[in-house]
Amino acid sequence: MTETHIETPTLLQRAPPPSFEAVYAILTLELPAPTRRAIMTVCATICGTTIAGIRSPRGSAADIRARMIYYYAASALTHHSLPKIGIECGLKHHASVLHGIRRVAANPAAFEPHLSLVMTRLNGPIGPGGMPRPRHGLGSQAS
């Protein structure tokens, strides 16, 4: 009988370093944008309301606050149009969506800490460049 010897790696052996292509692929990986439904779920959870409350025609102050944060986050993190964002939010008119985006952009401090928590949860840590800006409603200021 012939014995076969299989070498097993020891704890002292190191794995070969990753290739440049592998590191570059990881660093340039773009995560998919969150869906409107995921954004709404995060807004409702963090603001202490429900999705039904955000979609309701009226609502409490918490519902309206969550709805405006949803408008802002959906505009900043997705490529959807204002009518599509409004439809997801209970058939709201695009002008209502635009009004909510402008309210949050004009005074973000009034929507803290919820706004930062929502954006961090959906987009990762807020870097030195600041929070992502919405794509709609800010004229030439939007980047």
Q: Is residue 23 part of a domain?
A: no
The whole-model pTM stands at 0.72
Within a domain: residue 51?
A: yes
Asked if the structure places residue 72 within a domain, the reply is yes
Whichever domain contains 40, its CATH number is 1.10.1750.10
Confidence of residue 40 (pLDDT cuts 50, 70, 90): very high
Asked, for residue 79, whether it belongs to a domain, the answer is: yes
pLDDT bucket at 14, cuts 50 / 70 / 90 = low
Indicate whether 117 pLDDT > 80. Answer: yes
Within a domain: 25: no
For the stretch 41-100, pLDDT in tens is: 999 999 999 999 999 988 899 999 999 999 999 999 888 999 999 998 888 999 999 999
pLDDT at 143: 42
What's the domain count of the chain? 1
Report residue 2 CA to chain centroid gap: 61
pLDDT at 142: 42
Find the domain containing 44 and state its range: 36-124
Q: Are 65 and 111 in contact (CB under 8 A)?
A: yes
Answer yes or no: is 136 within a domain.
Answer: no
Tokens of 86: 């409004």
Is residue 99, in this structure, part of any structural domain at all?
yes
Structure-model confidence comparison of residues 130 and 47, the more confident one: 47
What mean pLDDT value characterizes the chain?
Answer: 82
The answer to whether residue 68 sits within a structural domain is yes
